[in-house]
Amino acid sequence: MAQIKPRTLSGFMELLPHRQAQFDRMVEILRRTYSLYGFTGLDTPLIEASEVLLAKGGGETEKQIYRFTKGDTDLSLRFDLTVPLAKYVALHAGELSFPFRRFQIGKVYRGERAQRGRFREFYQADIDVIGDGKLDIVNEAEIPAIIYKAFTTLGLRRFQIRVNNRKVLNGLFALLGLEAHAGDVMRTIDKLEKIGPDKVLGILTEDFGVAPDTGRQLLDLLGTENPMEALAAYKGKHELLDQGISELETVVGYLSAFGVPADHFKVDLTIARGLDYYTGTVYETAMLDHPEIGSICSGGRYDNLAEYYTNKQLPGVGISIGLTRLFYVLEEQKYLNEDLLTAPADALILPMTEDLSPAVSLATVLREAGIRTQLYTENKKFKQKIGYADKLGIPYVIFLGEDEIAQGKAAVKDMTTGEQLTQTTAEAIVRIRDGLAARSTGTPIQDRG
């Protein structure tokens, strides 16, 4: 038969089973954390009509979009979870209750240039709170607090959530007479961490005609170690700036109230975020020991989620974890906790008799006790059967022969210690459960920093 060489597309993450188990455990923790804060899970289509998905039009993303026709229909794969959310809320507004708190963990598609650690299919894990007309600023502090909780539950320690406010930046731009170029200046500022202040200054002065002194003043202010103190000197000079400073103060105050320790967040006036639609608080999150990775979780406040679909004003605040990339980095940097179980089963039963009924009964009882159990019925040598459990990392192997069946017991081997005991089912359940509990105390991420 003519064969095709099997392959997975470049830029598409496909994990081996033990890695997949680690990934899934992280997703499960995010899901549970988001749920604990009262977010409802959504699952929107991966394909949307192009005219709907690209209603906003233009932008850098458009080139990256997977767009195609099927029959007469112009279709696109979603490139983020925000536009589908906007569509969903605009479409179903009458049936939703506001504030609408939703999480979505799903794949998105961007045809980026293939390179190590860049993915064309990747998971985003988003939370957003959408208001109807208004949305209290408390939400702008709760969102990063949820991310703090999510990351620490995953086991990440050395991270910092960086907070800024677009009104502060736009206020400063106005005050310095840069209003006409606000968008360009914002996008240039956004590159500060990547290209450094000298190059940013160069772009500001050469491309946008900013006076060198003004540019330097701006960059000094943005780069200051004590931004709240530095901003205090600017109070009362511009309305939008005042509003921004006040919002920033409020968010910082609530962040503490929400239990985010001082060393896990910081006001950073250089955080701009490229996207136009942010209007207030903006966030980025850095891994302190790996600044080269860039932000692992970003977002912000916006005033109009769905202006391309509806006249309804839908302000919101949201944040997104780039999960596939984060997982890739965690694996590469050896942050994944390899001690947690990733085997497909907790117990492997090896029936030693022709009649499988006792083995099936035992498997049923174990499963009812929540122990993931596999019956091994292949006709293989004993050594191969044990090797199977060993290679998969299945922690318990249970031998069931005539003798054990006659005694109403089973021979249960702890594959880690090698200890083999002949036990009743009840005894085996207790032992296996205790063993599993001891092996699942750790977090998926081990941050030794």
| In the complex, least distance from residue 93 CB atom to a copy of itself, rounded to whole angstroms | 9
Instruction: Count the neighbouring beta carbons within 10 Å of the beta carbon of residue 77.
Output: 21
Q: Which is nearer to a copy of itself, 217 or 256 (CB)?
A: 256
Collapse the DSSP code of 407 into the 3-class scheme (helix H, G, I; strand E, B; otherwise coil) and give the result: helix
Residues 291-350 that bind a copy of itself (CB under 8 A): 306-311, 344-345, 348
**Separation between Cα atoms, residue 400 and residue 358, nearest integer Å:** 8
Q: CB 291 → a copy of itself: shortest distance, Å?
A: 30
Closest CB to a copy of itself among 111 and 202?
111
Short-list 98, 161, 95, 147, CA closest to 316? 98
- Shortest separation between residue 220's beta carbon and a copy of itself, angstroms: 35
User: Residue 257 Cβ, how far from a copy of itself at the closest point, in Å?
Assistant: 5
- By the rule CB under 8 A, 424 interacts with a copy of itself: no
User: Under the criterion CB under 8 A, does residue 280 sit at the interface with a copy of itself?
Assistant: no
Nearer to a copy of itself, 207 or 402 (CB): 402
Enumerate residues 6+ apart whose C-beta is below 8 A from 49.
73, 74, 75, 76
What is the x/- site pattern for a copy of itself, positions 354-383, by CB under 8 A?
Answer: --xx--x---x--x--xxxxxx-xxx----
DSSP state of 318: E
Distance of CA 97 to the CA centre of its chain: 25
Lookup result for tokens 């677009």: 166
> Which alpha helices (H) appear in 270-371, and where do they start and end?
323-332, 357-368
Return the structure tokens found at 211.
């006076």
As given in the structure block, the two tokens for residue 262 are 């001082």
Considering the complex, state which of residue 42 and residue 245 has its C-beta at the smaller distance from a copy of itself.
42
Place of tokens 């091994």: 376
DSSP 350-400: EE-SS--HHHHHHHHHHHHTT--EEE------HHHHHHHHHHHT-SEEEEE
Q: Report the residue from 29, 78, 82, 87 that binds a copy of itself according to the rule CB under 8 A.
A: 87
Residue 17 or 209: which CB sits closer to a copy of itself? 17
The answer to whether residue 172 forms part of the interface with a copy of itself (CB under 8 A) is no
Task: Candidates 50-58, 179-187, 198-206, 225-233: pick the segment binding a copy of itself (CB under 8 A).
Answer: 50-58
Q: Cβ of residue 272: shortest distance to a copy of itself, in angstroms?
A: 24
**Strand ranges across the sheet with 347-351:** 373-375, 347-351, 396-400, 410-414, 420-423
| Stretch binding a copy of itself (CB under 8 A), from 160-168, 224-232, 275-283, 384-392 | 384-392
Q: Site mask, a copy of itself, residues 96-135, x = CB under 8 A?
A: xx-x-xx----x-x-x---------x---------x--xx
Residue numbers 194-253 binding a copy of itself by CB under 8 A: none
Among residues 208 and 258, whose Cβ is nearest to a copy of itself? 258
Would you tell me how many other CB atoms lie within 10 Å of the CB of residue 222? 22
Beta strand pairing call for 278-287 and 297-302? antiparallel
Does residue 271 interact with a copy of itself by CB under 8 A?
A: no
For position 399 contacting a copy of itself by CB under 8 A, the verdict is: no
Residue window 403-422: x/- pattern of binding to a copy of itself, with contact defined by CB under 8 A: --------------------
> Contact, 241 vs 172, CB < 8 A?
yes
Q: Which is nearer to a copy of itself, 109 or 173 (CB)?
A: 109
